[in-house]
Structure 1
Amino acid sequence: MITLTSDAAEPLSRSTSSQRAPLRVGLVQHRWRPDAEELAHALRSGIDRAAAEGARIVFLPEITLLRYPADRPAGPNPGAAAEDLTGGPTFALAADAAVANGIYVHASLYEKAPAEDGLGYNTAILVSPAGELVGRTRKMHIPISAGYYEDTYFRPGPAEDDPYPVYAPDGLDARIGMPTCWDEWFGEVARCYSLGGAEIVAYPTAIGSEPKFPSFDTQPLWQQVIVANGISNGLFMVVPNRTGDEGALSFYGSSFISDPYGRVLVQVPRDEEAILVADLDLDQRRDWLALFPFLLTRRPDSYAALTAPVDPARPYGTGHAPTCVVK
């Protein structure tokens, strides 16, 4: 694995002095391996190296230990590979690495959710330096199209009881949101986290090629929408993706960390396993939103259409004929 680092970027609109030290964060971009021990060793090595570079929290990609399953529709037992939240290998890996390095570790897993349909949750977790679960967020938006048949594996996270929680881990002086992958395309999600006071939003991700359109590279669109959502909501975005070929998909890596000004602070190449480490000057969120006060000048009284129920007969909005989702 290569290691890429970035110092804290210059504050561009600081009008109030900051007393906060930069927070050093890390992420690991990895390639899946069929040998479970080899895969765990590679991830653990990445976490250890990020911690050795001073990272106080390390973020890992979506469903960290699994081959991405949803390149094909699920069979009759979709949850066969799901694991217990704290009793499975993903939590064990994160907890062991967190304790050994004295850091926080973020990971992602296919969480068991016993039900007749066999579907589980796609869940992000945060583990403390004491090896304790201190955060859990279930993926809210589930893709349904060709190569990403996640609706046949995962149930959406529940909309009640704080679906977009913001965590303030002891000792980090940071407020963190933990949605997952497809959630990153929805401006509503970033806005909810911003209104909840998040400074960092991490998106564990598994995204790559489009099997039905192999010449269509979505990587630039993916990056642009995440960076733009960070700008419009005053957020640092931490985005660990995976790389390599898995079944029908070729994952395009390109993991990155961006700031509220839209600057990509550090980024991994498409096809490398890598560690990113960056210093985040978190008061830049405050600086940017004081200059461009998006949250203060909102008009929620005019946004009723955003909370109206989804109408499957009008997937593109009023006045546009529906077409079938590409399967």
Structure 2
Amino acid sequence: MITLTAPAAPPLSRSTPSDRPPLRVGLVQHRWRDDAADLAKTLRSGIDQAAAEGAAVVFLPEITLLRYPADRPGGDDAAALTEDLETGPTFTLAAEAATANGIFVHASLYERAPDADWLGFNTAILVSPDGTLVGRTRKLHIPISAGYYEDTYFRPGPGPDADPYPVYAPDGLGARLGMPTCWDEWFPEVARNYSLAGAEIVVYPTAIGSEPVFPDFDTQPLWQHVIVANGINSGLFMVVPNRTGDEGALNFYGSSFISDPYGRVLVQAPRDEEAVLVADLDLDQRRDWLELFPFLLTRRPDTYTALTEPVDTQRPYGVGHEATAVVK
């Protein structure tokens, strides 16, 4: 597993001095293995590598320990893939790695729901250096198209009485963090809500790759562009751990990256190789950028009422455009 590192990028528009030291973050891009012990060993090795490079927090891809299930529609047996939030293998891996290295560890799991419905939650967690759960965020937006039949596995978050956009600032991290998941990364509303809640870093655990119906269509550039752009328009550092390799109908294209509020990609993994990324984040660059381009200050929420209307399934593309079928 290769390791790629990046120092803090220079500030471009600093008008107020900063006394905050850079935050060193890491992520692991991995290939799934059907041998559970081998997979856990690989992920643990990646976490340990990032910690050895000084990372204070390490981020892992979507549904970290599972083969991506949604390349085919699920059924009543999908619940067999779920796990308990704090006693399952994902939390156990994250907690053991966190305590062994004295760092925060983020991971993602298929969380068992508390009722008889077989749909579970797609959940991101953050574990502290003492092995306790300090953050949990459930995926809000669920894809429904060919190769990504997630609506047959996951129910939309956040769940009853939960904050859809929680921001965590655990003691010892020195940063404010949001943890949405994958499909959420395509929605500018998500980044903006996290920014308004005070997040400095948004991490998107991700599982994205090929399009089975259109195998010649490479969505990787679009995927990266939209995430970086949402970081620009909301003043956020983006941390995006993806997986790599073939899994069923999909080939995951890796390309995990970390970007800053100016739209600079600080460090990026290859498409087809397991990797550890480590980068220093000058978090006051969020403030610097939003002082120069005050998007949050000059918003006009009084004109945005159409965005909060219920989705019109007969006209999802807007007025004057007839609905067409989702590609399945």
Q: TM-score, normalising length from structure 2?
A: 0.99
Structure 2's unaligned 5+ residue stretches are: none
Q: State the Cα deviation string for residues 197-224 of structure 1 (Å, max 9, x = none).
A: 0000000000000000000000000000
Moved more, 253-262 or 115-124: 115-124
Matched residue type, 1:88: G
Please name the residue that 2:71 is paired with.
71
Other structure's SS at 1:190 match: helix
**Aligned amino acid, residue 173 of structure 1:** G
Secondary structure at 1:70 match in 2: helix
Aligned to 1:109: 109
Structure 1 unaligned regions, length at least 5: none
Is the 8 Å Cα contact of residues 61 and 207 (structure 2) preserved in structure 1? yes
**1:259-278 correspondence to structure 2 within 5 Å:** 259-278=260-279
The corresponding residue for 1:128 is 128
Query: 1:158 Cα deviation (Å)?
Result: 2.9
Distance in 2 (alpha carbons) for counterparts of 1:249 and 1:315: 27
Distance 1:113 1:161 in 2: 14
Give runs of aligned pairs for residues 36-185 of structure 1, distance below 5 A.
Answer: 36-158=36-158, 160-185=161-186
Q: Which amino acid aligns with 1:100?
A: A
Deviation per CA, 1:262-320, whole angstroms, max 9, x where unpaired? 00000000001000000000000000000000000000000000100011001101100
Please give the per-residue CA displacement for 1:202-258, whole angstroms capped at 9, x wherever unaligned: 000000000000000000000000000000000000000000000000000000000
Say which is worse superposed, 135-144 or 115-124, in terms of deviation: 115-124
User: Given residue 52 of structure 1, which amino acid in structure 2 is its aligned partner?
Assistant: A
Query: Equivalents in 2 of 1:288, 1:167: separation in Å?
Result: 22
Q: Distance in 1 between matches of 2:307 and 2:163?
A: 18
What amino acid maps onto 2:264 in structure 1?
R
Cα drift, residue 24 of structure 1: 0.1
Distance 1:239 1:45 in 2: 19
Per-residue Cα deviation, 1:76-101 (whole angstroms, up to 9, x for no partner): 22211100000100000000000000
User: What is the distance in 2 between the residues matched to 1:123 and 1:81?
Assistant: 13
1:63 Cα deviation from its structure 2 partner: 0.1
Name which of structure 1's ranges 110-119 and 296-305 shifts more when overlaid on structure 2. Answer: 110-119
Q: Which runs of 4+ in 1 moved over 6 A?
A: none
Q: Give the secondary-structure state (helix, strand or coil) at the position aligned to 1:77.
A: helix
Say whether residues 1:6 and 2:6 are aligned partners: yes
Deviations 1:7-27 (A, max 9, x none): 000000000000000000000
The CA distance in 2 between the partners of 1:114 and 1:146, in whole Å, is 28
Task: Tell whether 2:202 aligns with 1:201.
Answer: yes
Aligned amino acid, residue 286 of structure 2: R
Q: Distance in 1 between matches of 2:103 and 2:177?
A: 15
Q: Is the 8 A contact 2:176 2:201 kept in 1?
A: yes
Shift of residue 325, structure 1, vs aligned partner:
0.4
Deviation at 1:75, TM superposition (A): 2.0
| Whole-angstrom distance in 1 between the partners of 2:218 and 2:191 | 24
Alpha-carbon distance, 1:117 to partner: 2.9
Q: 2 CA distance for matches of 1:171 and 1:83?
A: 28
Give the whole-Å Cα distance in 1 for the aligned partners of 2:158 and 2:52.
37
Question: In 1, distance between residues paired with 2:15 and 2:116?
Answer: 56
Query: Which residue in the other structure is 2:22 paired with?
Result: 22
Mean Cα deviation higher: 156-165 or 212-221 = 156-165
* TM-score normalised by the chain length of structure 1: 0.99
Identity of aligned residues (%): 81
- Match in the other structure for 1:325: 326
Deviation (angstroms), 1:171 = 1.3
Which residue identity is paired with 1:176? L
What's 1:187 paired with? Answer: 188
AA aligned opposite 1:229: N
Instruction: Decide whether the 8 Å contact of 2:137 with 2:158 is kept in 1.
Output: no
The whole-number CA distance in structure 1 between the counterparts of 2:162 and 2:216 is 42
Contact 2:139 2:158 in 1 (8 A): no
Q: CA RMSD in A?
A: 0.7
Moved more, 168-177 or 8-17: 168-177
CA distance in 2 between counterparts of 1:178 and 1:114 reads 22
Q: CA offset at residue 161 of structure 1? A: 3.2
Q: Deviations over 1:128-151 (max 9, x none)?
A: 000000000000000000000000
In the alignment, the residues of structure 2 paired with residue 216 and residue 282 of structure 1 have an alpha-carbon distance, to the nearest angstrom, of 36
